[in-house]
């Protein structure tokens, strides 16, 4: 496949980036206060158009190298044993807008992350019914949405290695926060892959295919790789890098969103997460010196953890930052890690505040 990549941009946003940013949306950072993000505040990333979908007639086909091809309606899936998981999803492109030069795509600053409670059938239960053959290497998930990227027409499709697909917490999800999926979140059925960046959780899921090779679709083979330079083979984006955010304190200015805070003790609240295991430490700093924040234990294995810190706010302009360290010892970098397409920017959040 060709490597038609859009040239990087420095400076002002292009019309196309603004259009993407209005179609999609981030979670307002004040919504970090919710353990579970209300559905309407959950971030959104939709590559093409939201497909027309009717839950009453929707069919999920399971085919390819399986002993028993299946065709399942939503009713049948809902009658199978259900599982509910609280899962933090983050877009692999989150933070892209802070990197210069930046890749022309959804220009996330830091708000492409949310947590929801997803209910569905473990994918493994359906695969066990279909019985993938001995030669199966990957399971491909095909969404109903279709369009062009890099000049290639395709449906949004992604794959997982068979062992990853069989993980007990990978869900075929039909409910979000106790209600049927909203159209923008993949109604009536989506894949949900905990711990992975959001691209793995294919929405509007209509076909599952067992194959005996590595899937070479656009969203798998061309996109979603960490690359130091265009043309590099790259490293596939998989699990979420360790990250943390705080609720910006005080009140914002409308246009620049700069914060104003009253002098005195300020309680800072935030969340931290990692796809590689529990977050073990969160640090907070005002103007450079790091202090340990109070970090809560995980309430669910795949959901963000709450943290808080106390700050003695003195008059003047200050820069607040936070950074997390996970169980593998990975710590957030102070500056964005370089990536051609702006993936995986987990550099520390900076919030400028004026204390009066």
Ligand X SMILES: Nc1nc2c(c(=O)[nH]1)N[C@H]1C(S)=C(S)[C@@H](COP(=O)(O)O)O[C@H]1N2
Q: Which residues bind Mo ion (CB under 5 A)?
A: 45, 91, 198-199
* Cα distance between residue 268 and residue 32, in whole Å: 11
Q: Which does 141 bind (CB under 5 to 8 A by kind): ligand X, Mo ion, none?
A: none
What SS3 class is residue 56?
coil
| 304 backbone dihedrals φ, ψ, rounded to 5° | -60, 160
Q: Which is nearer to ligand X, 42 or 302 (CB)?
A: 42
Q: Minimal distance in Å, beta carbon 156 to ligand X?
A: 4
Q: 343: burial class by Cβ within 10 Å (0-12, 13-18, 19+)?
A: buried
Q: Minimal distance in Å, beta carbon 237 to Mo ion?
A: 9
Q: Minimal distance in Å, beta carbon 113 to Mo ion?
A: 10
HSE, CB side, 13 Å, CA atoms: give it for residue 161: 4
Q: Minimal distance in Å, beta carbon 154 to Mo ion?
A: 16
* Residues in Cβ contact with 285 at an 8 Å cutoff, skipping those fewer than 6 apart: 291, 320, 321, 322
Q: Which two tokens stand for residue 158?
A: 């992604």
Q: Which does 58 bind (CB under 5 to 8 A by kind): Mo ion, ligand X, none?
A: none
Q: Which does 201 bind (CB under 5 to 8 A by kind): Mo ion, ligand X, none?
A: ligand X
**Peptide linkage before 188 cis (omega within 30 of 0):** yes
Q: How many CB atoms lie within 10 A of CB 25?
A: 18
Q: Which does 322 bind (CB under 5 to 8 A by kind): ligand X, Mo ion, none?
A: none
What SS3 class is residue 97?
helix
Interface contacts to ligand X, rule CB under 6 A: 42-47, 89, 91, 143, 145, 156, 185, 198-199, 201-204
What SS3 class is residue 255?
coil
Q: Which is nearer to ligand X, 202 or 266 (CB)?
A: 202
Q: Which is nearer to Mo ion, 91 or 99 (CB)?
A: 91
Q: Which is nearer to ligand X, 87 or 242 (CB)?
A: 87
* Cα distance between residue 21 and residue 18, in whole Å: 5
Q: Minimal distance in Å, beta carbon 16 to Mo ion?
A: 17
Q: Minimal distance in Å, beta carbon 234 to ligand X?
A: 16
Q: Which does 204 bind (CB under 5 to 8 A by kind): Mo ion, ligand X, none?
A: ligand X
Q: Which is nearer to ligand X, 47 or 306 (CB)?
A: 47
Q: Which two tokens stand for residue 216?
A: 């070479």
Q: Which is nearer to ligand X, 198 or 344 (CB)?
A: 198
């Amino acid at each position: 496949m060709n490597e038609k990549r859009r040239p990087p941009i420095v400076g002002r946003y292009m019309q196309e980036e603004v259009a993407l940013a209005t179609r999609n949306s981030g979670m307002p950072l004040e919504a970090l206060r919710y353990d579970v993000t209300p559905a309407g505040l959950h971030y959104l990333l939709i590559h093409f158009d939201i497909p027309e979908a009717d839950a009453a007639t929707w069919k999920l086909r399971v085919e390819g190298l399986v002993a028993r091809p299946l065709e399942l309606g939503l009713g049948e899936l809902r009658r199978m044993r259900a599982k509910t998981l609280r899962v933090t999803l983050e877009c692999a492109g989150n933070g892209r807008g802070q990197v210069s030069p930046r890749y022309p795509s959804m220009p996330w600053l830091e708000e492409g992350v949310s947590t929801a409670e997803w209910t569905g059938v473990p994918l493994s239960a359906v695969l066990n019914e279909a019985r993938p053959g001995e030669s199966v290497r990957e399971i491909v998930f095909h969404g109903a949405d279709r369009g062009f990227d890099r000049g290639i027409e395709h449906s949004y499709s992604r794959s997982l290695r068979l062992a990853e697909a069989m993980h007990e917490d990978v869900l075929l999800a039909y409910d979000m926060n106790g209600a049927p999926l909203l159209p923008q979140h993949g109604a009536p059925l989506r894949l949900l892959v905990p711990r992975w960046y959001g691209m793995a959780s294919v929405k509007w899921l209509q076909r599952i295919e067992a194959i005996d090779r590595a899937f070479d679709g656009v969203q798998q083979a061309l996109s979603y790789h960490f690359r130091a330079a265009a043309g590099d083979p790259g490293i596939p984006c998989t699990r979420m890098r360790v990250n943390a955010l705080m609720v910006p304190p005080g009140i914002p200015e409308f246009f620049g969103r700069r914060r104003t805070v009253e002098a005195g003790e300020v309680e800072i609240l935030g969340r931290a997460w990692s796809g590689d295991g529990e977050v073990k430490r969160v640090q907070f700093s005002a103007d450079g010196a790091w202090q340990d924040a109070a970090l809560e234990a995980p309430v669910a294995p795949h959901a963000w953890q709450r943290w808080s810190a106390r700050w003695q706010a003195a008059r003047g302009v200050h820069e607040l930052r936070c950074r997390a360290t996970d169980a593998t010892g990975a710590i957030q970098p102070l500056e964005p890690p370089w990536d051609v397409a702006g993936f995986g920017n987990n550099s520390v959040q900076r919030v400028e505040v004026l204390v009066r």
